Amino acid sequence: MKRKICTTFIIVAILAGFFGCDNGDTGPDGNGGKPIVCLGDSLTEGYGASKPNSVDKTRSYPAFLGEKVTVTVVNAGISGDTTAGGLARIGKDVLAHNPQLVIILLGANDFTHMRPANEAKKDLQSIINNIRDGNRKIYLASFIGDSSWEASYISVIPGGLTLELEAYLGEYKKMYSELKSENTDIGYIANIWKGIENSDMSDLVHPNAEGYRKMADNIFNEIKPYLQVNDLLK
């Protein structure tokens, strides 16, 4: 994410406190036509995809991901949702679909609300535990980008807050790393922001349709091995 985007993200975080079917076929693992469910917040729902301050699920990352696979991709994103919110609705929004694969992209709203990372971690671990069934594949995605994203992010923090928020961001990075190492059976998606430029943003926090398409590509590249093994690629 570019510097301009990061600046507004910080301002939003500090001042505003918001962010903002099974067809019976069987593949190699017996999952067949069971859907993929994408559990998340505004970055999953498709906020800003067509125009700022509105949702367009048809141009969300789950929609673009759906163009690449042979099964239904369910958009279970709700703008403003936290890890606690995601945990509260996994029964009706995830398990009710009996998915073979679940992508979890939550934590950004916990961060911008300055919620302790260990609390978000407990919720994410509970989500994983409730979704896990011994066969279902789970991918956890971080809302934090790569090292260049982080460097740009830190560089625009006002001087007096740099150390505090750098440490706070570090706690969230540590939280995702711990979840990855403590759940060796799940996949991890470290950088959803790869290749997304200022021109790919609908506002200074959310992608536009092209940005979500790139986000879908980044996620697709990480889950592609599972899709290939289970013959789910178009």
Give pTM, 2 decimals.
0.86
| pLDDT-derived band at 8, boundaries 50, 70, 90 | very low
What is the tally of structural domains in the chain?
Answer: 1
Least confident of 6-20, 59-73, 209-223: 6-20
| Boundaries of domain holding 33 | 3-229
Indicate if the pLDDT at residue 3 is higher than 60: no
Contact 200, 210 (CB under 8 A): yes
pLDDT value at residue 158: 63
Task: Give the tens place of pLDDT for each residue, 133-176.
Answer: 999 999 999 999 988 777 766 666 666 566 777 888 899 999 99
- CATH number for the domain harbouring residue 153: 3.40.50.1110
Percent of the chain topping pLDDT 90: 71
Instruction: Answer yes or no: is 22 within a domain.
Output: yes
